[in-house]
Chains A and B, each alone.
Chain A
Amino acid sequence: MRRRVAVTGMGVVTPIGQTVESFADALRQGRSGAGPITLFDPACLPTRIAAQVPWTGPALRDRKVTFALEAARQALEGSRPPGMGGLSLGIGLELFSLDDLAARERPGFVPPAARTERLTFLQTPSDLCVHLIAKRHDLRAPPLTHVSACAAGTDAIGAGFRLVASGRRDWVLAGGADSMINPLGVAGFARIGATTTANDAPTRASRPFDRRRDGFLLGEGAAFLVLEPLETARARGAYVHAEVAGYGSSFDACGISEPHPEGRGAYQAMSRALAEAEVSPAAIDAVNAHGTSTPKNDPVETLALERLLGARARAVPVSATKSMIGHLISAAGAVEAVAAILGMEGGWVHPTINLDEPDPACGLDYVPHVARRHRQRHVLSNSFAFGGQNAALVLRSADAGG
């Protein structure tokens, strides 16, 4: 028998808030985290803006590991369920350091001897993050490391949900972490024309569903959810933020960098999440969209939502968190799940900022500019990856399911 799965802890590090509370405030206010890139000198790269985390604490060489450790700490603070915990983490890949690449070719270079420096020189292997968290928090169930790119954060939560629902784990810390705001990350995305070049107006650059969108804004950060059986949470008197009710994933099996033109894979992932949650499309009260602000994603996601929601499509609020924090790649789905849960808990949907002139091909209610009071019992949260991997979650409010 499947178990209902509660969210009993949350932690976030984002460009607009480094605690759950400050993130919620910023979302409601529609604050942008975008600005000029200061983490390195982008010189004359076509994209010179991003949504950086204003991190002032101690940091490891790889920022995403720092963010992941902090988000995990927050999520588990005061909310550790009983039993053996597991980890399910969506994480970005290790890119290499150009400075290290150059340094090792210079005369007199001595390779680092100490293990910490060795393991972080040139690149920090991303799986290292999983084991640091597992060791720090004594998570003894085998950890899953997801690398499904922009869908990885959602996949990590979905996999964690299923591990708990099926009884294969007592509880799971599930989330995502990424930072690609480095020379190779920014150049790589810019080289394939994926990122915005609106360098003169950073806070206006990420504009999902707007006619003038020109690519995504790169962001960084991390988020984690503590997932445990609802029954266990209630028995120990834990605060229940929400439930994860269903998860679906799919392949477009179509283009490498563009979605299926009819949104087939997106529709399949959402449909599977609804089926697992045992709710109909009529039960969906709001959507946290993938909403990348790229020319190709936004109309196709709209098409898929129109097909899924049918006649109700224009009555369901659709918010794009990326309008404020940019695209956090492997962390995006996890941070956006937290955003959706915060909205359910507070009875509001956050705005899609910068939506001044809706694309005629994007005709839904995207909650432009200003947050709105809106009671939600079920929210759909979407992530669609480069490479046609699609993932969706159905989140249920804590007071919806009896």
Chain B
Amino acid sequence: MDPRPQAADHDPVVVTGAGHVLGAPCDPTPWLKVRKNRKFMGVQDDLAVAAAGQALRAAGLESAALGERAGIYMSVGYVPFEREHLDLLRASSVDAEGRISPLRFSRDAFAALNPLLTFRCLSNMPAFHLSVNFDVQGPYLVSYPGAGQLYLALEEAVEALRTRQVDVALVCGVAHQRNALVEHHFSRLDPPAAAERLLDGAGCLVLEMARHAGERARARLRALEVAYTPAHPFEDTLVADERAWGARLPDGLLGPASLPVLVSLGLGAEIRHQVHTADGVHGVSTWSSA
């Protein structure tokens, strides 16, 4: 599949800043404008805020009032849940035979359930934390859960820039994968992915139209294409494949974070990224210096 060249050479979509974080824990506190929200933040929120903070700083927009003219286009990995929380839930819900007791669940597990957990694992919360810490009031798209959906978010960001819905688009991918629930999911696929291959990470690109960016432009989106082969989740087997040229992807699986991490790592180089996801989405893009 060849990426479709991006038109409008006189005013192309450019990258003005990029940031990424690999591995958890990471510290988002330098970027927090609203410190009281720290208690609501899970690993995926920390990763997203830190990557976006770096990207906005690199774009020279760290202290800009983004407001209504900025939007967030992101893809978030599978819902995370830590082993200790699963164990606590089970231990406070089972009867003597190890079966779930509705009474115990509704009484003991309910009391033991940390209400903040709801906030820390929801997929729309990274977008919330970006909006509140960087004062983004514009439109959004929050997609789920893999590299293919990141490509679709990128397409929407490009469209939003071209149609002047926004002047600044934050394109972010975030995946918190080293936890019991996500590791369980990847272990049951055909073929399975070992837990050691799963990475925690986030990447964020600040996209603008070249005219708006002026001399802040660092790289240019040259071409982009997304396609799809419908695949039956229970019957068909598609083998995932991801490749990069011009910069090196970390060894492991980054899910929706892979493309923005790659562009961040090789910002300004001639980069080509191609992904075929196990769910049938194909994405390919090329990037170059501005």
A interface residues (Cβ-Cβ under 8 A, vs B)? 40-46, 91, 93-94, 96, 98-99, 101-102, 105-106, 115-116, 118-119, 121-123, 125-128, 130-132, 134-135, 138-149, 155, 159, 162, 166, 168, 183, 187-192, 248-254, 256-257, 264-265, 268, 272, 385-389
Mask for B91-119, Cβ within 8 A of A = 1, else 0? 00110001110110111011001010111
Known contacts being A125-B185, A146-B143, A188-B118, is A44 close to B137, with CB within 8 Å?
no
Chain B interface, DSSP helix/strand/loop, else mixed: mixed
Pair A168/B122 contact, Cβ less than 8 Å: no
A–B pairs, 5, beta carbons within 8 Å: A44-B106, A99-B99, A149-B122, A166-B163, A387-B122
Q: Which residues of B contact A115 (CB under 8 A)?
A: 190, 234-235
- Count chain A CB atoms within 10 A of each CB in B110, B230, B279, B281 and give the residue with the most: B230
Pair B110/A135 contact, Cβ less than 8 Å: no
A148 to B90, CA, bound (A): 28
CB distance from A278 to the nearest CB of B (A): 14
Pair B137/A251 contact, Cβ less than 8 Å: yes
Q: Which residues of B contact A159 (CB under 8 A)?
A: 141, 156
Pair A250/B137 contact, Cβ less than 8 Å: yes
Known contacts being A44-B107, A146-B142, is A131 close to B132, with CB within 8 Å?
no
Q: Does B139 contact A (CB under 8 A)?
A: yes
Pair B137/A144 contact, Cβ less than 8 Å: no
Q: Does B253 contact A (CB under 8 A)?
A: no
CB distance from A352 to the nearest CB of B (A): 27
- Count chain B CB atoms within 10 A of each CB in A249, A265, A387 and give the residue with the most: A387
Known contacts being A119-B234, A134-B230, is A45 close to B122, with CB within 8 Å?
no
- Count chain A CB atoms within 10 A of each CB in B78, B156, B226, B233 and give the residue with the most: B233
Q: Does B270 contact A (CB under 8 A)?
A: no
Q: Which residues of B contact A126 (CB under 8 A)?
A: 144-145
A312 to B220, CA, bound (A): 48
Pair A192/B115 contact, Cβ less than 8 Å: yes
Q: Which residues of B contact A192 (CB under 8 A)?
A: 115, 118
Q: Which residues of A contact B93 (CB under 8 A)?
A: 98, 102
Pair B128/A387 contact, Cβ less than 8 Å: yes
Q: Which residues of B contact A123 (CB under 8 A)?
A: 181, 184-185
CB distance from A25 to the nearest CB of B (A): 34
Pair A256/B128 contact, Cβ less than 8 Å: yes
3 residue pairs, one from A and one from B, having the closest CB atoms:
A251-B131, A43-B106, A387-B128
A148 to B156, CA, bound (A): 15
A259 to B271, CA, bound (A): 41
CB distance from A136 to the nearest CB of B (A): 8
Pair B135/A253 contact, Cβ less than 8 Å: yes
Q: Which residues of B contact A41 (CB under 8 A)?
A: 102
Q: Which residues of A contact B140 (CB under 8 A)?
A: 148, 249-251, 389
Query: Out of A101, A135, A166, A256, which one reaches B90, CB within 8 Å?
Result: A101
Pair B136/A251 contact, Cβ less than 8 Å: yes
A115 to B192, CA, bound (A): 12
Q: Which residues of A contact B257 (CB under 8 A)?
A: none
Known contacts being A125-B145, A145-B144, A147-B123, is A251 close to B102, with CB within 8 Å?
no
CB-nearest residue of chain B to A84: B228
Pair B159/A389 contact, Cβ less than 8 Å: no
